[in-house]
């Protein structure tokens, strides 16, 4: 049974099939098909976006990058510049897709995902890519690594995580947009938070793209980011009026 043989009516985890179904719903990170698709697309973009930083720093990165790792023969296990710029983010994207596919497969079959997949979840690898890829690229380019460089990346990551959480947030949740006009209206609540999730994830992607591609957040982007963050508020009143 795909790694979970039954022993006297129980799985290797010591659960009956009914207990496993219940556990998969609680710990299996079940989401709707729409949210799963949005999360996989956005998280893949997050993994690939560090390529913009690599392209911006291309001239400063040596053709052969010393990794600091030592192979079995005692030599430095170096890598070509193209592997660091394109290969590492690409590998992150592949691993991220595998995690999403595993979560979706186990959700469809009502199986409890392996512990490693549950721990990584849908955002573990994108979070690692957001923090580690810029670190490796900046270090290879010989540029200073400071907390100031990473704070915008952390802010963008928070926007992405909150946006993903809001996509299907249950009505009345404390962390939601608790406007009086939508708190007691199921459809308005759902549509408002779905819109907030999309807008805030777009804001996070835009912020990452600006940081990687330009190295700064230009003044013209501030109104765009603010519009994306505040768009759910007037939309909430519109949705509430239509319900």
**What pLDDT digit, counting tens, does each position of 149-162 carry?**
889 999 999 999 99
Same domain for 140 and 157? no
Same domain for 15 and 25? yes
Per-residue pLDDT of 165-193, as tens digits, reads 999 888 878 888 888 888 888 899 999 99
Return d(Cα 85, Cα 138) in angstroms, integer.
11
Return d(Cα 209, Cα 198) in angstroms, integer.
16
Same domain for 72 and 136? yes
Return d(Cα 56, Cα 129) in angstroms, integer.
17
Which of 85, 119, 145 terminates a domain? The answer is 145
pLDDT at position 8 over 50: no
Q: How confident is the model at residue 10 (pLDDT cuts 50, 70, 90)?
A: very low
Same domain for 121 and 178? no
As given in the structure block, the two tokens for residue 204 are 């996070």
pLDDT at position 78 over 50: yes
Same domain for 158 and 140? no
Same domain for 44 and 71? yes
Return d(Cα 71, Cα 69) in angstroms, integer.
7
Same domain for 123 and 166? no
Return d(Cα 239, Cα 191) in angstroms, integer.
7
Number of domains the chain is built from: 2
Which of 130, 145, 160 terminates a domain? The answer is 145
Return d(Cα 97, Cα 82) in angstroms, integer.
22
The residue length of the chain stands at 243
Return d(Cα 174, Cα 167) in angstroms, integer.
15
pLDDT at position 20 over 70: no
Which of 125, 145, 165 terminates a domain? The answer is 145
Same domain for 133 and 153? no
Residue with structure tokens 């609680």?
Answer: 26
As given in the structure block, the two tokens for residue 206 are 């835009």
Structural domain of 71 = 1-145
E strands within 12-167?
64-65, 79-80
Does the reported pTM lie above 0.95?
no
Q: Is 45 exposed, middle or buried (0-12, 13-18, 19+ CB in 10 A)?
A: middle
């Amino acid at each position: 049974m795909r790694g979970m043989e039954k022993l006297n009516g129980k799985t290797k985890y010591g659960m009956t099939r009914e207990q496993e179904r219940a556990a998969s719903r609680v710990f299996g990170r079940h989401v709707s098909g729409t949210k799963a698709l949005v999360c996989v697309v956005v998280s893949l973009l997050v993994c690939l976006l560090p390529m913009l930083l690599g392209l911006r720093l291309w001239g400063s990165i040596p053709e052969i990058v010393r990794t600091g790792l030592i192979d079995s023969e005692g030599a430095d296990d170096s890598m070509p510049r193209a592997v660091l710029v394109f290969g590492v983010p690409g590998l992150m994207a592949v691993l991220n897709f595998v995690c999403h596919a595993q979560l979706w497969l186990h959700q469809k079959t009502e199986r409890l995902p392996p512990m490693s997949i549950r721990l990584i979840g849908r955002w573990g690898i994108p979070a690692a890519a957001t923090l580690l890829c810029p670190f490796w690229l900046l270090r290879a380019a010989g540029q200073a690594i400071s907390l100031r460089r990473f704070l915008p990346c952390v802010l963008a990551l928070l926007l992405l995580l909150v946006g993903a959480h809001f996509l299907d947030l249950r009505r009345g949740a404390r962390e939601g947009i608790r406007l009086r006009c939508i708190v007691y209206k199921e459809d308005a609540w759902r549509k408002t938070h779905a819109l907030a999730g999309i807008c805030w994830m777009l804001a996070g992607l835009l912020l990452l793209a600006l940081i990687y591609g330009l190295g700064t957040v230009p003044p013209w982007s501030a109104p765009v980011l603010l519009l994306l963050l505040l768009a759910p508020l007037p939309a909430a009143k519109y949705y509430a009026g239509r319900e």
